[in-house]
Structures are given as C-alpha cells and as structure tokens.
Amino acid sequence: MKKDVTKFKTPHTYAIIFVVVLICWALTFLVPAGKFSTHDVEYLNANGETASRTVLRSETFRYMYNRDADFLDQNLPKLYEDKETLEKFDIDEEAFGDLIANKTFDESSLDAAGLTDDTLYEIYGEDFYDKSQKLNKTAGIWGTDDFNGFGFLNYVFEGLVSGDKYGSAVGIVALLLVVGGAFGIVMSTGAIDAGIYAVINKTRGLEKLAIPILFYLFSLGGATFGMSEEVIPFSMVMVPFVIALGYDSIVAVTVTFVASQLGNAVSWMSPFSVAIAQGIAGIPVLSGAGFRLTCWVIVTGLGAAYTMIYAERIRKNPTKSVVYETDNKFRAKLEQDQGAREFKLGHKLILFEMLLVLIWIVWGVMKKGYYIPEIASQFFVMGFVTGITAVIFKLNNMTINDMASKFQSGAADLAGTAVVVGMAKGILIVLGGSDANSFSALNTILYSIGNAFAGVPRTIAAIGMYLFQSCFNLVVTSNSGQAALTMPIMAPLADLVGLSRQISVLAYQMGAGFMDAFTPVSASLIGVLGVAGIDWSKWAKFQIKMQGFFFLLGSIILVIAVAINFQ
C-alpha cells in the first residue's frame, strides 16, 4: 500500500517548544549579546500613589566585548587617586588597592571591588572595552550553574525553577497544581454537572446569548484588573458548560481567556499594563481613557461577533471542530450524567460556596492586591469546603479518603501543563533572559528593531511598533516586564518619528494583549488550554486567523489614533 504523504500529524506541544528552543539557541550564535544600564523611575500609579519601576536607559546600549587590559592598566591607578569618584560610585577602596597592587583586572575581581561593568561604563563610556570583536553569549549543550554553566538541554528544569511564587514559572506551576487538585474534588461531587443541566433546562432557546455575555464579562475583567492567571480556574467550569450548550472547548477558551486578553489590549485602566507603560513613558497615568474605552466597547463587540460566527458553525456541525475528538471526553461525561443527575440541596450549597469564593477572589484582587499565592490558597479552601459539604450530604458517597485521592488525580491532570509552563520559560532563558542589565541576544534584538523605525512615516512607524510589540510578546509575556523593557525605547522613538507617546503606549498595549492569546510561552494560556484539554498546535490553527483579525483591528485603531493625533 502506498503511503499517503499528504497526511500530516500535528506535532506535540513539547516537540514544538523544543524546536523553538533549538532555533533560539542557534540565534545566539548569530546575534552578539548586548545590554543596557538601568535606573529606577517614579510615577503616579492608578491609585494616585507614587510607584517605582526599574527600566533600561536606551542611550546606554552596548555590545558585549572583552575588557581592554592595557586601558585598565593605565587608567585604574588614576581612578584610585580620585577619592571623590570612588565615593560617588561606592567603590571599595581597600579591594581596589589590592587590584592595583596585584594588577588583577579580570571581571570577577573588578566586580568584587565595586567596579562593575555599569560603573566602568559610567566613568569611561565604551573606552574600557576591546571593541575589536563583538561577543556572543551562547549556552552550552549541557550544563548547570554549578557545572560548566547553563546548557540549553537543561531548559526544562531551569524553566520550571525560574521566578518565584509571584510569577512564572514556579508560581504558575504551583497555582496549576493546587487549582487542579481543588477542582478535582469539586468535579467529583457532581455539583457542576448538575448545575449545568439545571441552567440549560431553564434557559432553552437562549444559548446564543451566553457567548456575548461571557465575552464582555471576561473582557471587562481583563480591562479592569488585568485578568490572566485568574482565568485558569474559571475555565474549569466554563469548558463543560460551553460544550453542553453545543459548542466546543475552543469557544470556551475564547470567551474566557481570549476575551480577557482582548480587554487588556484596549484597557483604559489596567494597573498592570497601561498604567505602568504610561508611567514609564512619562505621560499622565490613565490619560486617554475616553478613546480607549470607546475602543474597548467596539473591539469587544467585534471579538464576540467573530466568536459567535465560529460557534454557530460548530453548533450546526460539531465534527468541523479541530478538537472534536478531544472534546468527546466532556461530552461523554455530560451524556452519562444527563437525566440521572438530580440537582440536590448539597449541589446547590457547593455551587453557592464556589460563588462566594469567586467573589472573594475578585474582591481580593481588586481591593487587596491578592495575587498567585493568595489565589491558590483561596481555591484550596474552596476544594476543601466543597469536599466536606459532599461528605456531609453523601454526594457520590464521598469520603475523606476520596477527597484526598480526587485532589491527587486533579493535580495530576494538570501536571503535563505545568511542565509546558516551565518549558516555555526555558525559551527565554536560552535567549539570555529578559534582564536589560545582563548581556543577552534578546537585548540586542530589542535595540536593533527599535532603531529600525527611525525616519519612517508616522503611520508606518506606529504599525511597525505594534508589529514589534506583538512579536516581542512571543518571548516576553509579562505585561509589566514587556513595558519595562520596551517603553524606554519606544517612547523616545515616538518623539523622533513625530508620534505622541500615547500612541506608543497604545501600540504596546495591543501588541502585548492580543498576542497573549496565541503565544505558547504564555503560562496563563497554556494553563487554560491544559484545563480544556487542547493541544497548543490545534489551538494555533484556530487562533492564527483570529490574530489576523485582531491585527487588522489594531492597525485601524492606530491609523485613527495617528490621524487625530491621540494624546
């Protein structure tokens, strides 16, 4: 039998990420490493309070070079005699004296004395470098910080242990496991299944209204408090609900996570994106809210309409969905429970307890600044309380041991997704990390693309900034992190090409927000896809078209912003 070469099997997400890691590793051989000096800037945040952020200084970019030993040998003794400069830069005079005596001018010895690269650059500019050759910062094949230095084949472990409990990857991984365990308990009580059918049975004929209502609600969450990681637990409920309405899990992810990121992209008040970007750009925080609010209403409506068109096509012919096979597990469970699931008092209490916890979470995020550690703890409380309720009301004959085993199995269901989060963070590590103050290929790419926009027409420059921010988000998905890295370059660049800095912020917002719904590096997206059981490669087949739609909308918004000189 002849082999059908036209059939192509979609690669596993792990395989896709590994290929991306290889490409990024190869890129570091071609792109010399660069860095910026950084400083802290203060601005008024959305609450009118003074906040600070460490940002790069765009005029301080330099490539990675070897030190010029002859220059240091001639000039450091003179610097040693300049007591005022030593005091200004907090240089250890005793350690400096030992350097002069021993003539040991290697990097580690200079750093120990306080003569860091940044300090020497402030004093001498680039004169202390041997500029005959730009250097590359390329990881080895295998290694750790303790043995031979980081090697790219260690990207999984390094990615998993990067960050802290407040963010990617460790924080997100822990959140996924705790939320998965909590919902393992909740789902085993049968309360969600019973509740879904109770709602559907009482709202026959109104299914189409669910999509725009959910889309606007989650978009509002993204616009007001930067909803992202918080979507993961909501998806636990929304996926089976949306599938029960006759749609697929792609619709469920779209009306939850995509909607939240769309809201973030055109937000008028998000403290984690627009407020930080405006503060760094040196323009009044939350200024231009009227234009952004108008954009939010229109873009959210168009996003909901796009989703409704796709959803209706799937409702009429479910087999057209690329996730039809994987959604069968949800359908099978719902069909098994249909008719046999009585909506008991215990179920109602559990859903009420879940509602109280969700209100608690939203209140905590918006009023108290709760983040990943608190949210994870809140969901653990929800799992525990609902489990005890199920034991008391003997729902599915639940016991304490069942609670423990369901928590274990729920966490296990998201373990594979947690690994993807670490893998995705490994991509950034292979490129040298996102620290502007450390030499990396990523900093060089950032600087080079920023300079490429100088001298181009205003409208093209605005769309170019938007395209750059979209591509940059494929690697750095933290909204605040992307603002800290790109706005110190994009804001003054806007001045050079005749654009308002408000437009440069708008280009950053839309690039960072829309692309968050696509990039496989987004820990939040991978978490939601894991909950829905969707492989990223299948998600990309749907989302690539929607990203084209979003890019068109964003470009139109920027053309209008340039035409009206949006300030």
Of the chain, the percentage scoring pLDDT greater than 90 comes to: 48
Q: Using the predicted structure, report yes or no on whether residue 5 has a pLDDT greater than 70.
A: no
Least confident span in 287-301, 356-370, 407-421: 356-370
Q: How far apart are CA 104 and CA 108, in angstroms?
A: 10
Instruction: Give the per-residue pLDDT at 40.
Output: 87
Instruction: Give the strand pairing for 62-63 and 66-67.
Output: unpaired
Least confident span in 218-222, 233-237, 241-245, 293-297: 233-237
Alpha helices by DSSP H, listed for 431-500, are 441-452, 458-472, 479-497
Backbone angles phi, psi at 37, to 5 degrees: -80, 155
Instruction: Give the per-residue pLDDT at 47.
Output: 65
* Residues 499 and 456 sit within 8 Å (Cβ to Cβ): no
Q: What is the pLDDT of residues 342-368, one digit of tens each?
A: 788 999 999 999 889 888 987 887 788
Find the distance separating the first CA and the last CA of the chain, reported in whole Å.
67
Mean of pLDDT values over 72-83: 91
SS3 444: helix
Instruction: Give the per-residue pLDDT at 338.
Output: 56
pTM of the predicted model, to two decimals? 0.78
What is the CB neighbour count within 10 angstroms for residue 316? 9
SS3 101: helix
Instruction: Give the per-residue pLDDT at 8.
Output: 47
Instruction: Give the per-residue pLDDT at 46.
Output: 59
Of the chain, the percentage scoring pLDDT greater than 70 comes to: 96
Q: Residue 559 has which token pair?
A: 């053309």
Instruction: Give the per-residue pLDDT at 45.
Output: 66
Q: What is the pLDDT of residues 464-508, one digit of tens each?
A: 999 999 998 988 888 888 888 888 888 888 887 889 999 999 999
Mean of pLDDT values over 13-17: 83
Q: Using the predicted structure, report yes or no on whether residue 3 has a pLDDT greater than 70.
A: no
Q: Using the predicted structure, report yes or no on whether residue 98 has a pLDDT greater than 70.
A: yes
Instruction: Give the per-residue pLDDT at 439.
Output: 94
Q: How far apart are CA 278 and CA 211, in angstroms?
A: 33
Instruction: Give the per-residue pLDDT at 312.
Output: 94
Q: Using the predicted structure, report yes or no on whether residue 220 has a pLDDT greater than 50.
A: yes
Q: What is the pLDDT of residues 435-452, one digit of tens each?
A: 889 999 989 988 888 888
Q: What is the pLDDT of residues 160-210, one digit of tens each?
A: 999 888 877 898 889 889 988 998 899 889 888 788 777 777 776 777 888
Mean of pLDDT values over 550-567: 95
Q: Using the predicted structure, report yes or no on whether residue 7 has a pLDDT greater than 60.
A: no
User: Average pLDDT of the chain?
Assistant: 88
